[in-house]
């Protein structure tokens, strides 16, 4: 352990202090003070994270334990942080992107009353705190604390505009669906504790690898634990079957969607599996499931995104779909590619969300892309950065998304040709729906009201500067993971992460095949974009029919869940409340009571109506006996 890591606790503590100050002082602090505290604490955390990252890069990794959180018998759960290659990368993403989004928020939320403005920033800081706990924890319990903490902040921020009942329902839905996953995560933790004796990553992995005398994970234990952890991940990272909360979560302010529901929180599941890669590599069953669920989610969400008309909904389904790609990577053993995609996705998806925020800001709250169009002239910075985001997510070289998505597709190709084909198709859909979004929003004629047209303006610099920085990152972010074909030792990310993520064999694909695959995907993506251009450059709204309607209605998954689970449960609960509990359970009790009362009436003892007096006398008598016995015993 290195002594200088002892101060690592400041990284999460600073945002927590920001939360407290802004939260408690919300009625007295001015907007500028609130902004300063909110952004400043994150900036300081970011600076510390860079410092930690540089230390890690120089080879110092370690764990630092602060106090015993829970200690019962053999079970010890220290409040400990693990600082290594994996967590340091996530620290940079969280605090770096987090800082930009905080800055953006100062302008975006400026019209809120100052108390609410401070409330917003306190929640946002609390989120960063929880997210940092999640990635810094040295055992599954600390990770779980952060895990539920980010869920809470997500809930609070989705329902930030609490006067709107629909928004609050979306917030509840997010929290509850996450809780389903959290339960599985918890049970996994208990299972681990039962086998290992604690939940520290190092001990768990050592036992899993059979390096510890007397403690053992059987194959079925590992499959069970990894499956449970994965169910936890499907909740947080919005995978089938627990993904439906994420599109609804767009009810929150747009910067929140960028930070929580695109760049950081929803990637927590990816982090968790990457962190547990030693366990996952030991269970081929779970790996298959992860890959298939990931791919199915990527495809399903992409098909839905094609037909959405709300700018944020398109991006939300896109996020679900991209997360699916990450899980596909995890399931095929390409952990590094998954982390890589988390990173590039954080850049371009945050960029796209913030860009959409800028559009919504300019349109006076309008989110329907059918009522937009032609915005590129008035919002040139937003347009240009949004375009970069679209290119990056579509996977056109040399933008960042190309490298990470290529790594995933390659891994799928090595694993199974069918997986590859489906994944490629989903990637083409990505390009299609993103450019549909771009063209509908920024090209063609303006389709909104005259008032909106008059109002159109580029956003202030507090919003455009983060856009520009994120755009630059979206362009160059992929260069940390250049594949071997292009440049020997170009994949710096893999070599950096190699101490944490065991390499799962070298590539089996020849260079020529690799070039061919890249050429194929790039060529098809370009075709898709051209297709989208012809289809949507001059958009005229039309009613969708048949399959299109099915997609527009999101395959009716929400309705199916309601009919199959929510409503029956609701009715059953009503039956329990109004019939079973009242008539049957209590009825039985009353029946017994009445029988007794009846015999009592026969005895004419209780009929005097003086039960109270009897009992009172009884109490007083008892007290008297007690007091006499106690004081006069000698």
- Interface residue list for another protein (CB under 8 A): 67-73, 75, 115, 141, 144-145, 148-149, 152, 155, 159, 162-165, 168-169, 171-172, 175-176, 179-180, 182-183, 186-187, 190-191, 193-194, 569-570, 572-574, 576-578, 581, 585-586, 589-590, 593, 596, 612, 615-616, 618-619, 622-623, 625-626, 629-630, 633
User: Between 604 and 633, whose beta carbon lies closer to another protein?
Assistant: 633
Q: Output the smallest distance, CB 253 to another protein, in A.
A: 16
Smallest distance from another protein to CB 109, Å: 18
Q: What is the 3-state secondary structure (H, E, C) of 505-521?
A: CCCCCCHHHHHHHHHHH
Q: Rounded to the nearest 5°, which phi and psi values hold at 28? A: -110, -20
| Minimum CB–partner distance for residue 110 and another protein (Å) | 21
Q: Distance between CA atoms of 77 and 190, rounded to whole angstroms?
A: 12
Closer CB to another protein, 144 or 496, in the complex? 144
Distances (CA, A) of 314 to 159, 171, 299, 321: 20, 19, 14, 10
Smallest distance from the beta carbon of 565 to another protein, in angstroms? 12
Strand, helix or coil for residue 154: helix
| Residue whose token pair is 């220290």 | 78
Q: How far is the CB of 168 from another protein (least distance, A)?
A: 5
CB-nearer residue toward another protein: 193 or 438 = 193
Structure-token pair, residue 214: 């007397």
Q: Tell the smallest beta-carbon distance from residue 467 to another protein (Å).
A: 32
377 vs 577 by CB, closer to another protein: 577
Provide the residue count of the chain: 634
Query: Cα(583)–Cα(576) distance, rounded to whole angstroms?
Result: 10
CB of 81 to another protein, least distance (A): 15
Query: Minimum CB separation from another protein for residue 231, in Å?
Result: 12
Query: Of 69 and 446, which CB lies nearer to another protein in the complex structure?
Result: 69
Task: Say if residues 82 and 63 touch (Cβ distance below 8 Å).
Answer: yes
Strand-pair category, 75-83 with 62-72: antiparallel
Q: How far is the CB of 469 from another protein (least distance, A)?
A: 33
- What contacts 481, CB < 8 A, 6 or more positions away? 336, 340, 403, 404, 407, 490, 491, 492, 493, 494
182 or 414, CB closer to another protein?
182
Residue closer to another protein (CB basis): 153 or 497: 153
Of 194 and 488, which has the nearer Cβ to another protein?
Answer: 194
SS3 content of the chain, % helix, strand, coil (to 5): 75, 5, 20
Q: What angle do CA 202, 207, 212 make, to 5 degrees?
A: 105
Nearer to another protein by Cβ, of 563 and 570: the residue is 570
Angstrom distance (rounded) from CA 288 to CA 415: 10
- First vs last C-alpha separation in the chain: 66
Q: Which of 67, 534 has the CB closer to another protein?
A: 67
At CA 541, angle to CA 537 and CA 545, rounded to 5? 120
Find out whether 123 and 160 touch, Cβ atoms under 8 Å.
Answer: yes
Q: How far is the CB of 271 from another protein (least distance, A)?
A: 17
């Amino acid at each position: 352990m290195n002594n200088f890591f002892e101060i690592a606790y400041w990284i999460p503590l600073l945002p927590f202090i920001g939360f407290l100050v802004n939260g408690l002082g919300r009625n007295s602090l001015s907007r500028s003070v609130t902004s300063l505290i909110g952004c400043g604490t994150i900036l300081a955390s970011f600076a510390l994270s860079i410092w930690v990252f540089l230390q890690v890069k120089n080879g110092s990794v370690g764990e630092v334990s602060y106090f015993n959180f829970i200690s019962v018998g053999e079970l010890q759960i220290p409040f400990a942080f693990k600082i290594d290659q994996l967590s340091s990368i996530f620290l940079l993403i969280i605090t770096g992107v987090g800082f930009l989004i905080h800055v953006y928020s100062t302008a975006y939320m400026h019209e809120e009353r100052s108390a609410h403005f401070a409330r917003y920033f306190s929640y946002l800081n609390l989120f960063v705190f929880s997210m940092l706990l999640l990635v810094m924890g040295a055992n599954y319990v600390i990770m779980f604390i952060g895990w539920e903490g980010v869920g809470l902040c997500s809930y609070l921020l989705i329902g930030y505009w609490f006067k709107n009942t629909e928004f609050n329902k979306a917030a509840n839905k997010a929290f509850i669906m996450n809780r389903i996953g959290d339960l599985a995560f918890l049970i996994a933790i208990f299972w681990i504790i039962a086998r290992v004796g604690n939940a520290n990553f190092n001990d768990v992995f050592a036992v899993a690898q059979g390096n510890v005398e007397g403690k053992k994970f059987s194959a079925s234990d590992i499959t069970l634990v990894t499956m449970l952890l994965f169910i936890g991940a499907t909740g947080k990272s919005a995978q089938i079957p627990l993904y439906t909360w994420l599109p609804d979560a767009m009810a929150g302010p747009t910067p929140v969607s960028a930070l929580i529901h695109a760049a950081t929180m929803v990637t927590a599941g990816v982090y968790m599996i990457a962190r547990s890669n030693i366990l996952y590599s030991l269970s081929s069953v779970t790996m298959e499931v992860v890959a298939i669920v990931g791919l199915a989610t990527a495809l399903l969400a992409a098909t839905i995104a094609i037909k959405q008309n709300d700018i944020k909904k398109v991006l939300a389904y896109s996020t679900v779909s991209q997360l699916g790609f990450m899980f596909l990577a995890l399931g095929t053993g390409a952990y590094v590619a998954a982390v890589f995609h988390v990173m590039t996705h954080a850049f371009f998806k945050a960029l796209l969300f913030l860009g959409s925020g800028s559009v919504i800001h300019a349109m006076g709250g309008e989110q329907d892309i059918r009522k937009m169009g032609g915005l590129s002239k008035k919002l040139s910075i937003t347009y240009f950065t949004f375009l970069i985001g679209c290119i990056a997510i579509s996977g056109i070289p040399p933008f960042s998304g190309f490298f990470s998505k290529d790594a995933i597709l390659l891994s799928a190709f090595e694993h199974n040709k069918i997986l590859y084909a489906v994944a490629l198709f989903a990637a083409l859909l990505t390009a299609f729906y993103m450019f549909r979004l771009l063209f509908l929003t920024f090209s063609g004629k303006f389709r909104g009201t005259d008032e909106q047209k008059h109002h159109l303006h580029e956003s202030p610099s507090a919003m455009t500067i983060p856009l520009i920085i994120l755009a630059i990152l979206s362009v160059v972010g992929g260069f940390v993971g250049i594949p071997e074909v292009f440049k020997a030792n170009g994949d710096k990310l893999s070599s950096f992460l190699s101490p944490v993520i065991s390499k799962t064999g070298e590539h089996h694909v020849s260079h020529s095949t690799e070039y061919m695959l890249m050429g194929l995907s790039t060529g098809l993506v370009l075709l898709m974009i051209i297709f989208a251009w012809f289809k949507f450059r001059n958009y005229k709204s039309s009613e969708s029919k048949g399959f299109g309607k099915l997609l527009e209605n999101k395959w009716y998954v929400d309705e199916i869940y309601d009919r199959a689970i929510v409503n029956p449960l609701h009715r059953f609960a009503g039956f329990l409340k109004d019939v079973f509990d009242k008539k049957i359970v209590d009825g039985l009790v009353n029946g017994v009571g009445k029988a007794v009362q009846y015999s009592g009436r026969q005895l004419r003892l209780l009929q005097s109506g003086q039960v109270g007096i009897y009992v009172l006398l009884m109490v007083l008598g008892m007290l008297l006996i007690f007091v006499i016995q106690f004081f006069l015993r000698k």
